[in-house]
């Protein structure tokens, strides 16, 4: 039933009041402390604790594309889509050990600032524009549209009303600055995990009931028994889902580029840790890694449960189908939520809303940070006061959200599958960005000309490989696992495309830098000391536990 009962509205109202009240209290406490400088607004400098950083990382990361898109992929391909979450846990360890110390040591507050410090202002400005377009056109729109679509399908409220309500709630939180976002994200994560676990529990119990049993353990066992093809982490070449997750690429190929770029070279994410000291930042990232291990339970298992229930004939056909009669995986999670008992449905809608609003707020704050500190302050009004910077940031948030609301229905996000839409289109720029960052960190001879190639050349190469199958037969790559036959045309899976572009960018950056070095170009190396990478014993133990859990998971579900 696509409506919410009065009890559901009460549960949702409690969530809204708690988040809004706590955010208002944090905002007022900040005002009384007389801290209103731009760094406090954009970074919450020195005020976020490790648990707030970790919770904010997860709240900003988990959104509609996970709840809706990743559950949809769970329905379609199974547990394998969890590789985005579990590999992220391993990636976070690398970011905490090697990336964050470099940022903090060199007082880096934004990603374009890093590029300006390490290379030059031209590279930084090009990438600032790239990031703004990516964040607004791909990320912000996807979160808004998928979130509104999900809540509309659950509550029966008009799609556009849901979209504007989500945008308004996110804007209100974002206007309080990074400190308000960071601390309210702790509550958002509480609702996100609690509501998500309740949905998973009820979904697994429902599976058990369909086979004459009860309980989540029996439900999980029955899911593994009746959908064994949905419990493999590594796909073989003959699997229909191979183009999305091409075999070992998820362990030793493009998946690393996706995650290292996202968690280590992304203003939207790293911003949470850049205002803290190294120990606090690492503690927060470690906490986020542990939460990442839990995420597939919340966002993937419900999708597999919906698949099993559908195979059992539990759903009427139209519930999971679009207007053409094709089953749409992205409808799996909203359809499940419509089965929840009164009260629990409100809690799950609150969890979904928490995930969406937290991500929207974090994304909008990052858009404001990049535009204000890297474009407005540097190119438009260098003499801007602290107050003018904060006002500009707030206006940027408002404008970005309006643009997102206007263009998101036009992009066909729901047709491709929300999660893959974001991953593929982000992948057009991430290989070049990551090559530029990794050499900028750890090879002092990398030059600005080489970075410029990675910036522009990386994007053009991604476009080239995307459309190459239109005019070339790539069948010879199939035997190596780097191409799949899609309607008679051999296409390169986008994760492999990213790997190819990254390798080419690394080689070309090395060659261009070597040429520049021979011609007397002196790059601006960063302050890097091997002692920076030493961790505390507590962090080392936590990281080893995470690695052990990952090895066990991949070994069991291989």
Is residue 50 situated within a structural domain?
yes
Q: What is the pLDDT of residue 36?
A: 46
Q: Distance between CA 169 and CA 173 in Å, rounded? A: 7
Is residue 229 situated within a structural domain?
yes
Is residue 547 situated within a structural domain?
no
Q: What is the pLDDT of residue 413?
A: 63
Both tokens of 277, joined, read 């000291």
Give me the tens of pLDDT residue by residue for the chain, a chain 558 residues long.
567 788 888 888 887 788 777 777 776 765 554 444 555 555 555 557 888 888 878 877 777 677 777 888 888 888 999 999 999 999 999 999 998 888 888 888 778 888 888 888 888 888 888 888 888 888 888 888 888 887 887 777 888 898 898 888 888 877 766 566 666 667 777 777 887 888 898 889 989 998 888 888 999 999 999 898 899 999 888 777 777 788 888 888 888 998 898 888 877 677 667 767 889 889 989 999 999 999 999 989 998 998 888 888 777 656 666 655 566 667 778 778 777 788 778 877 787 787 788 778 878 888 888 888 888 888 888 887 878 888 888 898 899 999 988 888 877 665 555 566 677 777 788 899 899 999 988 888 999 999 999 989 999 999 998 888 888 887 777 777 777 777 777 888 888 888 999 999 999 999 999 999 988 877 777 777 778 889 899 999 999 999 999 999 999 998
Q: Give the residue numbers spanning the domain of 24.
A: 6-109+136-249+267-424
Q: What is the pLDDT of residue 344?
A: 78
Is residue 84 situated within a structural domain?
yes
Q: Residue 545, class by beta-carbon neighbours within 10 Å (0-12 exposed, 13-18 middle, 19+ buried)? A: middle
Cβ neighbors of 254 (< 8 A, separation 6 or more) are 427, 494, 495, 496, 497, 498, 499, 502
Q: What is the pLDDT of residue 181?
A: 66
Q: What is the pLDDT of residue 327?
A: 64
Q: Distance between CA 295 and CA 495 in Å, rounded? A: 22
Q: Distance between CA 256 and CA 442 in Å, rounded? A: 17
Both tokens of 125, joined, read 């400005």
- Give the CATH number, domain containing residue 326: 1.20.1730.10
Q: What is the pLDDT of residue 174?
A: 74
For residue range 438-453, what is the model confidence (pLDDT) as tens digits? 998 888 899 999 999 9
Q: Which residues of 337-357 are buried (b: 16+ CB within 10 A; e: fewer)?
A: bbbbeeebbbbbbbbbbbbbb
Is residue 48 situated within a structural domain?
yes
Nearest Cα residue to 366 out of 128, 147, 138, 69: 128
Residue 321 is classified by DSSP as B
Q: Distance between CA 172 and CA 168 in Å, rounded? A: 6
Q: What is the pLDDT of residue 312?
A: 81
| pTM (predicted TM-score) | 0.82
For residue range 510-539, what is the model confidence (pLDDT) as tens digits? 999 999 998 887 777 777 777 888 989 999
Is residue 432 situated within a structural domain?
no
Is residue 77 situated within a structural domain?
yes
Is residue 480 situated within a structural domain?
no
Total domains, the chain:
1
Q: Which residues of 16-26 are buried (b: 16+ CB within 10 A; e: fewer)?
A: eeebeeebeeb
Q: Which residues of 157-173 are buried (b: 16+ CB within 10 A; e: fewer)?
A: beeeebbbebbebbbbb
Nearest Cα residue to 333 out of 323, 322, 344, 319: 319
Q: What is the pLDDT of residue 35?
A: 46
């Amino acid at each position: 039933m696509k409506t919410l009962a009065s009890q559901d509205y009460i549960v949702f109202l409690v969530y809204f009041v708690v988040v809004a009240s706590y955010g208002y209290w944090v905002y007022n406490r900040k005002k009384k402390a007389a801290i209103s400088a731009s760094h406090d607004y954009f970074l919450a400098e020195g005020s976020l604790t490790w648990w707030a950083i970790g919770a904010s990382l997860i709240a900003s990361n988990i959104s509609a594309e996970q709840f809706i898109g990743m559950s949809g992929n769970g329905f379609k391909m199974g547990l394998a889509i969890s590789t985005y979450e579990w590999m992220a846990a391993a990636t976070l360890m690398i970011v905490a050990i090697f990336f964050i110390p470099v940022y903090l040591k060199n007082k880096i507050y934004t990603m374009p600032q890093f590029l300006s410090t390490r290379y030059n202002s031209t590279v930084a400005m090009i990438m600032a524009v790239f990031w703004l377009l990516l964040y607004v056109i791909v990320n912000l729109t996807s979160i808004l549209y998928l979130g509104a679509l999900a809540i509309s399908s659950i509550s029966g409220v008009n799609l556009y009303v849901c979209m504007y309500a989500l945008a308004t709630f996110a804007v209100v939180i974002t206007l309080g600055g990074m400190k308000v976002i960071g601390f309210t994200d702790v509550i958002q994560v509480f609702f996100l995990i609690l509501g998500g676990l309740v949905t998973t529990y009820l979904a697994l119990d429902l599976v058990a009931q369909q086979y004459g049993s009860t309980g989540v353990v029996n439900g999980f066992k029955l899911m593994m028994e009746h959908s064994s093809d949905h419990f493999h982490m590594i796909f073989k070449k003959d699997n229909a889902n191979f183009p999305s997750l091409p075999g070992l690429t998820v362990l030793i190929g493009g998946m690393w580029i996706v995650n290292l770029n996202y968690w280590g070279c992304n203003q939207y994410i790293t911003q949470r840790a850049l205002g803290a000291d190294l120990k606090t930042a690492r503690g927060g990232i470690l906490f986020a890694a542990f939460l990442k291990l839990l995420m597939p339970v919340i966002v993937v298992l419900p999708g597999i449960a919906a698949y099993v229930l559908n195979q059992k004939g539990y759903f009427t056909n139209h519930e999971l189908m679009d207007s053409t009669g094709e089953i749409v995986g992205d409808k799996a999670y909203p359809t499940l939520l419509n089965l929840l008992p009164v009260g629990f449905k409100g809690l799950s809608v609150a969890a979904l809303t928490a995930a969406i609003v937290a991500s929207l707020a974090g994304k909008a704050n990052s858009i404001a940070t990049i535009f204000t500190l890297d474009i407005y302050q540097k190119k438009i009004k260098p003499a801007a006061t602290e107050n003018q910077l904060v006002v500009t940031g707030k206006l940027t948030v408002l404008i970005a959200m309006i643009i997102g609301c206007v263009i998101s229905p036009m992009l066909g996000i729901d047709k491709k599958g929300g999660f893959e839409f974001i991953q593929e289109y982000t992948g057009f720029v991430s290989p070049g960005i990551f090559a530029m960052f990794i050499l900028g960190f750890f090879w002092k001879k990398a030059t600005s000309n080489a970075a410029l190639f990675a910036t522009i050349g990386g994007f053009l190469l991604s476009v080239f490989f995307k459309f190459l199958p239109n005019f070339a037969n790539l069948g010879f790559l199939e035997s190596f696992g780097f191409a799949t036959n899609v309607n008679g045309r051999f296409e390169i899976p986008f994760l492999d495309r990213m790997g190819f572009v990254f390798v080419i960018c690394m080689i070309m950056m090395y060659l261009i830098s070597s040429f520049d070095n021979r011609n007397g170009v002196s790059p601006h190396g960063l302050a890097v000391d091997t002692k920076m990478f030493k961790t505390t014993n507590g962090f080392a133990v936590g990281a080893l536990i995470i690695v052990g859990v990952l090895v066990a998971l991949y070994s069991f579900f291989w």
